[in-house]
Copies of this chain bind each other. A is one copy, B any other.
Amino acid sequence: MGGDYAPQNIVLGAIDALKSDPNFELILVGKTDAIEEILKKEGFKSDRLEIIDAQEVIDMSDNPTSALKTKKNSSIVIGANLVKDKKAHAFVSAGNTGAMMAASTLLIGRIKGVARPTIGANIPNQKGRSTTLFDVGASIDSKPIHLLEQAILGSIYVEELQGIKNPTVGILSIGEEESKGNDLTFAATKLLREANINFIGNVEGRDILKGTSDIVVTDGFIGNIILKFAESIIGLLKYKLKMYAKKNLWNALRVLFAKGSLKGALQDMDYQSHGGVPLLGINGISIIGHGSSSPLAIKNMILRAKEMYDKNLIQKFEEALKNHAEK
């Protein structure tokens, strides 16, 4: 029931996911009547699809933590509990982000050795792949140990899900030299140097789009600001082109041509198509989608969750953290 276009987009995305992969079962959690109406309209039936009723909805204005207590029959609480109770292997939602984080962390719980779960975002880079930025909002006022956790969990995630062997990790700072940084980067760098990851030291703001390292770790306050800044670039480009086109007819023609190529070229900067970000460090798979998720985004989130399960990500996280603790 989460997101601006629920349950419509969620159900449509779920149908597409079931159609594209025969090897998983799906539980839709929400208002049964509303869900069945869409399924009927689409003429979709599958014995791999189950509906669990949830009559309450945590909406965008609800306080995340208190909603977990006051709305126990919401799709977010019931969904998270399905993972906690081992009745589901993964949980996906486009609902209230804070509530998803709270439900995942408090109900499903953290992996042993994780102080703070983290969210990474893929940002396209000049190497033709993407830079994964941790954290983008789950860990505010991070301590050095949190950046270390991001690097360990992130390295496994990027290696397994993006197929980048032994991915490089950079720490976001204000200069290449190790002497450049703030209190957090100085302390975190010491921990990162000793960890079993491919740490390359400081990277700068410009290195994210350059793709200098596969993974960039930073405090969640900073990552969130960069992600939102990046998402707003296309808006500025559109505005700039509009202003340029207004100057004269020749400009307008150029822009007409430019639009098509820009749209094509910038396709992967459309964060919608990625379909959600996983919350890493909790003891189960939990993927949080954008409130305005399209059916395609929902489908991608579901398939991403399945891939994380198939690749035994949680177990690999546990082992890496255990190995690190024993070192």
- Please list the residues of chain A having a beta carbon within 8 angstroms of any beta carbon in chain B: 124-126, 128, 137, 140-141, 172-174, 181-183, 204-210, 218-222, 224-233, 235-237, 239-241, 243-245, 251, 253-255, 257-258, 260-262, 264-266, 269
Contacts and interface: CB of A to CB of B under 8 A. Distances in A.
Count of identical protomers in the assembly: 2
Given A140-B182, A174-B225, A241-B261, 18 more contacts: A124-B236, A126-B239, A137-B174, A141-B183, A172-B225, A204-B225, A205-B224, A205-B230, A209-B235, A218-B225, A221-B222, A226-B229, A244-B265, A254-B261, A255-B261, A257-B257, A257-B258, A258-B261
Contacts of A244: 261, 264-265
Contacts of A124: 236, 240
A232 B260 contact: no
Given A236-B126, A243-B128, A206 B221 contact: no
A266 to B, nearest CB: 6
Contacts of A128: 243
Contacts of A236: 124-126, 209
B229 A208 contact: yes
B243 A228 contact: no
9 contacts: A124-B236, A141-B183, A174-B224, A205-B227, A208-B232, A210-B232, A237-B265, A241-B262, A241-B265
